[in-house]
Amino acid sequence: MQVCHEWNTAVHVAEAEADAGKRAFTRQELQAFFDHADEQVDRVREAGRKGWLPIFRDGVLFKTAYAFGLRRNEARMLDVVDFGHNPDGPEFGEYGVLYVRHGKAQKGSPPKRRSVLTVWPWAAEILEQWDTEVRPLFTTCEAGALWPSERGSRIGFSQINTRFAAYRDALGLDRALDFHSFRRSYVTHLIEDGWDARFVQEQVGHEHASTTSIYTCVSSDFRTRTLRRALDATMDAALKPSRRKR
């Protein structure tokens, strides 16, 4: 007898974030991408041309998305007031914690909020430079958006997408890499560097650990090192009793 019907089963309303065709940046690819972004700023400024401000902005936006594992809309909707001091991480100054107010929501629910702790000192450094030295040069900065546009209070999706695709294609990187690859890379690199999986899950706001595992695209070298450590630990534990007898 059929016991599951439309009227007595829950509807899966959360959209899947996983796409088999997408992946994280390798560390080499990510470094090349950020280096290219920095080079574009230097190239335009040295040529005495206008337009270096939005190029600088987009480079910092991309780095921030990676540094905090942000989705595209989460990064775009950031305001200056969304950062705060973390008493357990005083070395990060006023950029020790990021309060995400526009997280991905389930269907029919308001945006999901979360706090993301800063884990890399360079993230606080680039944000402080941007907020105190460069962002004020935008005539539209008074609106409070972290990423103001030249003509509006906040950068648009098309500007983000166009700049990302231009940098990726200029470097000849895999077209499977998209803005969300920054988030995948954040998860992957933290796991590879030994951060606790539960901590990483909380940082990116995943309800289930299985979702975080989908994002984890660890390298073959990492898996080999992990296997070697496990085998060595097992072998060492097995040999300890015999060593005591001797």
Residues assigned a catalytic role = 71, 104, 180, 183, 206, 215
75-80: long-range contacts at Cβ-Cβ below 8 A with a sequence spacing of 24 or more?
Answer: 75/147, 75/160, 76/147, 76/154, 76/155, 76/157, 76/160, 77/101, 77/102, 77/154, 78/145, 78/146, 78/147, 79/144, 79/145, 79/146, 80/131, 80/135, 80/144, 80/145, 80/146
d(CA 98, CA 74): 11
> Which tokens in the block code for residue 161?
């997408």
